[in-house]
Amino acid sequence: MEINKKIAEALNSVRERNPLVHHITNYVTVNDCANITLALGGSPVMADDINEVCDMVSLASAFVINIGTLNSRTVEAMIEGGKRANDLNIPVILDPVGAGATAYRTEVAKRIIGEVKLAVVRGNLSEVKTLYGIEVQTKGVDSGEIIDGNADEFTIAKEIAKDFANKLDAVVAITGAVDIITDGNTLYTAHNGHKIMAKITGTGCMCTSIIGSYLGSVDNKLLAALAGITSMSIAGEVAYDNLDKTKEGTGTLKSKIIDAIYNLDDKVIIERGKINEE
């Protein structure tokens, strides 16, 4: 319950500070990422040209790098923007979408990790395993191994997350049916969300944007990552609960997720948050 109160305080901080969150994200979900950032209380900007990225990052409170739709032009902007953010102590979050799907995608994600100091890495189990150095098979950017909270795989995933976080000196967040969030020392598992969220493209990208908003508002990067994931997962639950199951589906669900983030408050977080410290 105490950690839920800290997340609620972090939410209030976002809404008081209205952090500018600079994204270089993918064109499939860019509008959703902008809207979810606004709904939480942040202010999104999506500048991806290398000629202005450093100037724009300089104005921001956090920098989100999402490799969902890669091209060589934006890769260089990601790197330069990340380095500029590092120079100014602006936190950077990486969403390594589809790492492991192609050699190029994996190479780019590893290059970013090698050249930019990250505050948070958020991905699914397959993506994090790939960056950690374990070879995995993945079908595409929305495909990933499922974390089963009762399986040996869950224990292994926690060990990978902690070791990887220590190597990067960053928070590693693995999202799935059960979410794992760790800074290499403290580890949280979060148990909110609904399986229907996997039927919508962009829930992971939106979650990363929310984490970026928290990173721009609180000094504790572990709390920021946990708050972002918990907020998104609770919103998914609330959105599903509010669906008219007789005539509404995933299109309406996405709108209701954004509504749920907009209406998120202390009471909802404290009542619904299902978080364990391990």
Q: 175 labelled as ligand-binding? A: yes
Alpha helix (H) residue ranges in the chain: 2-17, 30-40, 53-59, 72-87, 103-115, 125-132, 152-168, 203-215, 221-241, 250-262, 266-272
Report the C-alpha dihedral over residues 170, 171, 176, 180, rounded to 10 degrees. Answer: 130
Pairing label, strands 120-123, 62-66: unpaired
CA–CA separation, 243 vs 253, rounded Å? Answer: 7
Q: How many domains does one find in the chain? A: 1
Q: What's the CATH number where 64 sits?
A: 3.40.1190.20
Gap between the Cα atoms of 210 and 237, Å rounded: 16
The model's confidence at residue 143, banded by pLDDT at 50, 70 and 90, is very low
3-class SS at 44? strand
Please state, in angstroms and rounded to a whole number, the distance separating the CA atoms of residues 35 and 261.
10
pLDDT at 135 over 90: no
Q: Annotation-wise, does 122 bind a ligand?
A: yes
> Locate tokens 């609620």: which residue?
8
- What pLDDT does residue 1 have? 75
Has residue 138 got a pLDDT over 80? no
Could you list the residue range(s) of the whole structural domain that residue 205 is in? 2-277
Q: Residue 177's closest CA among 205, 157, 162, 160?
A: 157
Quick check: 4 pLDDT over 60?
yes
